[in-house]
Chain A
Amino acid sequence: MGTFQIDFGDERKSTIVGIDLGTTNSLVAYMDLTSPRIVEDANGQKIVPSVVSLDSSGTLIAGEPAREMLMTHPERSIYSVKRLMGRGVADVQSELKLFPFRIAEDSEAVIKVKLGGRTFTPPEISAAVLRQLKANAEAALQAPVTEAVITVPAYFNDAQRQATKDAGRLAGLEVLRLVNEPTAASLAYGLDKRKEGVIAVYDFGGGTFDISILRLHDGIFEVLATNGDTHLGGDDIDNLLLRIALEDVQSEWGEDLSSDPEGVQRLRRAVIRAKEELSFVPSAIIELAYHGKTYQRAIDRELFERLIAPVVERTLGPCRACLEDAKLTPEQIDEVVLVGGSTRIPLVRAAVERLFKAKPHTDLNPDEVVALGAAVQAGILSGDVEDKLLLDVTPLSLGIETMGGVVSKLIHRNSTIPASATESFTTAVDGQRNVLIHVLQGEREMVRDCRSLARFELKDIQPMPAGLARIEVRFLIDANGILNVTARDTRTGQEQTVEVKPSYGLSEEQVEAMILESFEKAEEDMRERQVREARVEADNILAATEKAQRNEAWKALTAEERAAIDSAKRGLQSVYHGNDHRAINEKIEVLNKATMALAENMMNTAVRGALKGTKVD
């Protein structure tokens, strides 16, 4: 209040929000003066479940209402869609056994999921969650929100990152930066209060696992190495318990619940509740009451830990690899930070403590720390936070296909981003006009063992004898971890056209089309609503007029006045069923004017009646 702000023109200072778009839950936060704050919805809830449903009016809804619909209308609902982001149908076959994803038959490079009778791509579904977060933030901030920082697992590949960015655009958010979740968490911890040090962030969430090792230096957070598994998380623990519970139910009820989506959902919720309790008490009960039958099973921590030990063990391999890449021993790690709901499990904490030989930090809520860090990063981008800077790395090596299906690496994993590499290409045949470059991500030597990222086609090369053309191609991984490719003909110095065919994910045109469609859809919805509203008003005025015509006051009008009203009524009725709300409103206005005298008369009659003490209808 009362402070002067000198604004040098075009830089609008709207709030950039930080979003943790999680597999299970999502949150949005912002910088409130000097510290990050999580947005609460109208009911005081911070967590928005990453569940999306197609409601009866054909709109995608997200969050708690969708989670309710997941129980009642599982065929119109979806959860854990993050597991499908940026992936192809072949990638997710193993997931399909455990997750009730209904993949549309025509899915290819981009998966399409069926909800109700319609199909959606994973970015469209994630966009519904983002729209909910955006709306919550706008309500809390009392201002439009158009820019965001969104977090992704550090180990996400290019296609998964691109899909997340697409989701942001579809939700009407400009994604200013994708930040890796563990790195974001380290920002939230305010660990830079110690001037120097090496920290490990162990991030075990609902669906993904990440480990990052950072060096702190005077507010600079330099990631030394990162590793992980994009398909390892609390979901896997749930599935272990669920399998046991399903077997129990089968033997107790003599009924295979696994083919009943609603039953499975209820049982899944029951095992999650038991899992969560087991982090705090030595024993819990899995309980289900369904279709008049009940199921109960006690599970103690010892059995639970025996069950999940292999899952916990799977997180330690990436941790060791990460230490090796950072060229550090466990003793050299000064502090360990735990992120993600699954780190509440005592066995997980014990395993981390044993590996890093340090007691992990748990002072911040592991569900909130990533969103808080995203808000800090948003503050860095807006210029509000000046002392901190994050230097992140690319998790996977980038290479191109060469002779014999061998990958030639151009940018190695754990390179600080932005990072670039330049490579020269030429033609193999006289007069060749196009050169195709196949870009891959991964650590293996052969193309078949790496992940295809995209095919870039250099077009319109000047025809000349084979081997003479010289096209320099620059591969640049930006600060979001996303690849950009530019090419130049070194003989002419001309920019070379590059056409990108992503191997997985949506093309630029598809995203544009979706955004356009959502605008058109919004316009269409708007028009429909306006017509509906106009008709309601028309109904009201027509009913009121007819009622008035039975009133004494009607007789007091001149013949012309009565004719004008009748004509106005017919005019309104003639446009009533049309789709033009403006025409309806116009005729309402005409009728309104025509009935002015009638209304006056009625008012007078009413007043007279009131004075006489008789009841006037």
Chain B
Amino acid sequence: MRHVVFFLAFLSSLWRRGQTQHCRSAIFFVMPSPSISNNYFEFFSLERKLGVDGDVLQKRFYELSRQWHPDRFSRKSAQEQAQALEATSILNDGYRTLKDPVKRAEYLLTEEGFPIGEQRSRDVPPELLEEVFELNMALEELKSGDESARPQLEDAKRNFVDLRAGVDEELEKLFRKYDAAESQSETAKQALHEIRGALNRRRYIENLIRDVDKALHPAMAAAESIEDRL
């Protein structure tokens, strides 16, 4: 019975997701197997590293789903059902975050006290200033009905897609740099700092690609609006 009380206290602590937790060790007393944590890396029993083996992650996801999915608890007490719902939502949110390298990096940055503010992505990375200026001109021309801007925009899109691939490569290198460094060391912090810069640059490029797509295929953008069919 005391275990249940402990567990409930723990559950309510799950609220403070994204903040440092100190209840980690306590969980082992409450739930001998397996540990449930609101930290995604811990929940999946993965090392706190930026390189994640996709196959291992998926395998854990399936195993943990079998264990925690609410379908497995429908004849259990309301308390157990609430636990299952809570655990599964962390599991699913965590899987979504960890399987995507960009989301995974953003998550780890936040966890390590490097929050990535939304507004930072609006600053034009200096090396892109010229290209962005030209792009905006071309976008305006197409919007005003000048179809001759289309090939230029298509070129620009290819260019930005290449740039994004470049950032992704850079990120991979930085991930390895972080993973090799000792946790909390200066090298690790430096790597996180660089990762944050790369992520912001990536998001900026991503938005540009989206803008170009919207200008090039207004019909497709409209088709995306599924509400029209609702």
Contact bitstring A345-386, B, C-beta under 8 A = 1, else 0: 000000000000000000000000000000001001111000
Q: Across the interface, do A479 and B85 meet the contact criterion of CB distance under 8 Å?
A: yes
Q: Across the interface, do B74 and A229 meet the contact criterion of CB distance under 8 Å?
A: no
Q: Across the interface, do B227 and A220 meet the contact criterion of CB distance under 8 Å?
A: no
Q: Which of A317, A442, A443, A478 contacts B85 (CB 8 A)?
A: A478
Q: Is residue B141 within 8 Å, beta carbon to beta carbon, of the partner chain?
A: no
Contact bitstring B87-98, A, C-beta under 8 A = 1, else 0: 011101101100
Q: Which of A222, A391, A443, A476 contacts B224 (CB 8 A)?
A: A443
Given the complex of chains A and B, what is the CA–CA distance between A499 and B160 in angstroms? Answer: 46
The minimal Cβ–Cβ distance linking B55 to chain A, given in whole angstroms, is 11
Contacts of A417 in B (CB 8 A): 92
- Given A217-B62, A220-B62, A449-B225, the answer on whether A420 and B230 have CB atoms closer than 8 Å is no
Q: Which of A157, A383, A418, A421 contacts B230 (CB 8 A)?
A: A157
Contact bitstring B170-212, A, C-beta under 8 A = 1, else 0: 0000000000000000000000000000000000000000000
Q: Is residue A542 within 8 Å, beta carbon to beta carbon, of the partner chain?
A: no
Given the complex of chains A and B, what is the CA–CA distance between A138 and B156 in angstroms? Answer: 66
Q: Across the interface, do B69 and A389 meet the contact criterion of CB distance under 8 Å?
A: yes
Q: Across the interface, do B93 and A419 meet the contact criterion of CB distance under 8 Å?
A: yes
Q: Is residue A337 within 8 Å, beta carbon to beta carbon, of the partner chain?
A: no
How many residue pairs, one in A and one in B, have C-beta atoms under 8 Å apart?
89
Q: Across the interface, do A479 and B227 meet the contact criterion of CB distance under 8 Å?
A: no
Closest Cβ neighbor of A391 among chain B residues: B65
Q: Across the interface, do B230 and A381 meet the contact criterion of CB distance under 8 Å?
A: no
Given the complex of chains A and B, what is the CA–CA distance between A369 and B66 in angstroms? Answer: 25
Q: Across the interface, do A416 and B69 meet the contact criterion of CB distance under 8 Å?
A: no
The minimal Cβ–Cβ distance linking A325 to chain B, given in whole angstroms, is 11
Q: Is residue B133 within 8 Å, beta carbon to beta carbon, of the partner chain?
A: no
- Given A416-B92, A420-B89, the answer on whether A229 and B229 have CB atoms closer than 8 Å is yes
Q: Is residue A297 within 8 Å, beta carbon to beta carbon, of the partner chain?
A: no
Q: Is residue B8 within 8 Å, beta carbon to beta carbon, of the partner chain?
A: no
Count of B interface residues, CB-CB < 8 Å = 27
- Given A220-B62, A444-B227, the answer on whether A488 and B15 have CB atoms closer than 8 Å is yes
Given the complex of chains A and B, what is the CA–CA distance between A337 and B225 in angstroms? Answer: 27
The minimal Cβ–Cβ distance linking A216 to chain B, given in whole angstroms, is 11
Q: Is residue B226 within 8 Å, beta carbon to beta carbon, of the partner chain?
A: yes
Q: Across the interface, do B74 and A176 meet the contact criterion of CB distance under 8 Å?
A: yes
Contacts of B17 in A (CB 8 A): 422
Contact bitstring A394-420, B, C-beta under 8 A = 1, else 0: 001000000000000000000111111
Q: Is residue B23 within 8 Å, beta carbon to beta carbon, of the partner chain?
A: no
The minimal Cβ–Cβ distance linking A7 to chain B, given in whole angstroms, is 12
- Given A317-B223, A419-B93, A478-B85, the answer on whether A472 and B15 have CB atoms closer than 8 Å is yes
Q: Across the interface, do B65 and A381 meet the contact criterion of CB distance under 8 Å?
A: no
Given the complex of chains A and B, what is the CA–CA distance between A450 and B62 in angstroms? Answer: 33
Q: Is residue B140 within 8 Å, beta carbon to beta carbon, of the partner chain?
A: no
Closest Cβ neighbor of B225 among chain A residues: A444
Given the complex of chains A and B, what is the CA–CA distance between A520 and B147 in angstroms? Answer: 70
Task: List B64-85 residues whose CB lies under 8 Å from chain A.
Answer: 65-66, 69-72, 74-75, 85
- A residues contacting B by CB (< 8 A) are 11, 157, 176-177, 217-218, 220, 222, 227, 229-232, 317-318, 321, 377, 380-383, 389-391, 396, 415-422, 442-444, 449-451, 472, 474, 476, 478-479, 488
10 closest residue pairs by CB, A with B = A418-B89, A381-B74, A420-B89, A416-B92, A442-B227, A229-B229, A479-B70, A444-B225, A418-B88, A443-B226
Would you mind naming 5 contact pairs between A and B with Cβ atoms under 8 Å apart?
Answer: A230-B230, A377-B71, A391-B69, A396-B226, A479-B69
